[in-house]
A and B are shown apart, each in its own frame.
Chain A
Amino acid sequence: MKMDGKIRVATDAKYKELYNNIKNNGVVEDFHELFYLCVCLGYRKGKPSPVKRRDDRFWSSTITPREWACYYAMVLEQNDFDYKKVSNDKEVLAIIEDYANAGMKILIEDFLHDYLLSSSRDTDPQLDPASCKELAKQFVHYIFEQSEPES
Chain B
Amino acid sequence: MILHKMMVENFRQFNGKQELEFVTPSQDNANVTVIFGENGRGKTGLFRAIMFCLFGERRLSQDGDVQREELQLVNVSALEASAGKPVRTAVELEFSHRGQTYRLRRAILGMQDGNRIIEEEDEKRLFVTTSTGNTRTVSATEIDAEIDNILDRRVKDYFLFDGEKIERLTRASIEQRREISAGIRNLLNVDALETAIRAVGRVAKTLEKELSNSSHEELSRLLKRLGDNEEEQSRLRKRLDDLADEMRRARKEIEDTDQKLTSFNEIRHLLDRRKSLEKDLNDLEQQAINALNEMRNLVCKAASLMVAPTVINVFEHIERQKQKGEIPSEIRRDLIERILEDDVCICGRGILKDPEAHSHILDWQKRTSDVTTQDSALNLWRYLSEVRNHFGDDADLVEKRLQQYGNFRSAIANINRSIENVSNQIGTSERQDATKLDDHRKKLQENIIALEADARNKQTQLEQLQQENIRLRALLKEEKLKVGRNDELSRRSILARDTQDALNDVYSQFTREIKNMIGDSATRLFRELLDKEGRENLRTIIVNDDYSLQVLDRYKKPFLANISAGQRQIMSISFIAALARTASRGDRIEIPLFMDTPFGRLSYEHRQNLINMVPTFASQWILLATDTEFRRQEAQLLKNSGKWGKFFVLRSTTDGNTKIVEQDISSALAILRDEEVYQ
Contacts and interface: CB of A to CB of B under 8 A. Distances in A.
Contacts of A136: 292-293, 295-296, 299
A70 B310 contact: yes
Contacts of B317: 76, 81
Contact of B299 (A33, A73, A76, A86): A33
B307 interface: yes
Given A67-B300, A68-B383, A83-B369, A140 B314 contact: no
A22 to B, nearest CB: 10
Interface in B31-79: none
B306 A65 contact: no
B402 A26 contact: no
A64 B383 CA distance: 11
Given A36-B300, A83-B369, A73 B384 contact: yes
Interface in A49-100: 64-70, 72-74, 76-77, 81, 83, 86-87
Q: Is the interface of B mostly helix, strand, loop or mixed?
A: helix
A87 to B, nearest CB: 7
Nearest to B460: A24
Contacts of B292: 26, 134, 136-137
A43 B298 contact: no
B463 A73 contact: no
Q: What class of interface size applies to chain B in its complex with A?
A: 35 or more
A146 B306 contact: yes
Contacts of A26: 292-293, 296
B286 to A, nearest CB: 15
Given A20-B467, A136-B293, A76 B314 contact: yes
Given A33-B299, A137-B292, A137-B405, A143 B306 contact: yes
A44 B313 CA distance: 14
B377 interface: yes
A147 B305 contact: yes
Interface string B287-299: 0000111011011
Contacts of A76: 314, 317
B640 interface: no
Most B C-beta atoms less than 10 A away, residue of A44, A68, A87, A137? A137
A70 B386 CA distance: 11
B313 A140 contact: no
Contact of A72 (B302, B380, B401, B464): B380
B399 interface: yes
Interface in B391-405: 395, 398-399, 401-402, 405
A97 B376 CA distance: 22
Contacts of B308: 147
A29 interface: yes
Contacts of A33: 296, 299-300
A1 interface: yes
Contacts of B298: 140
A68 B306 CA distance: 15
A83 to B, nearest CB: 5
A143 B302 contact: yes
Contacts of B407: none
Interface string B369-385: 10001001101100110
Interface in A101-151: 129-130, 133-134, 136-137, 139-141, 143-144, 146-147
Contacts of A73: 307, 310-311, 313-315, 380, 384
B386 A66 contact: yes
Contacts of B373: 1, 83, 87
Given A1-B376, A66-B387, A70-B387, A28 B299 contact: yes
A136 B398 CA distance: 12
Nearest to B398: A144
Contacts of B300: 33, 36-37, 64, 67
Contacts of A10: none
Contacts of B181: none
Interface string B458-473: 0010011001000000
Contacts of A147: 302, 305-306, 308, 395
A36 B463 contact: no
B379 A139 contact: no
A40 B383 contact: no
Nearest to B464: A24
B628 interface: no
B643 to A, nearest CB: 45
Contacts of A67: 300
B310 A43 contact: yes
A36 B310 contact: no
Contacts of A70: 304, 307, 310-311, 387
Given A1-B380, A66-B387, 10 more contacts: A25-B460, A33-B300, A37-B300, A40-B304, A73-B310, A73-B380, A83-B377, A136-B299, A140-B398, A143-B305
Interface of A: 1-2, 20, 24-29, 33-34, 36-37, 40-41, 43-44, 64-70, 72-74, 76-77, 81, 83, 86-87, 129-130, 133-134, 136-137, 139-141, 143-144, 146-147
The 9 closest A-B pairs by CB, nearest first: A69-B383, A1-B376, A147-B305, A136-B295, A73-B314, A143-B302, A37-B303, A40-B306, A40-B303
5 contacts: A1-B377, A25-B460, A27-B296, A137-B291, A139-B299
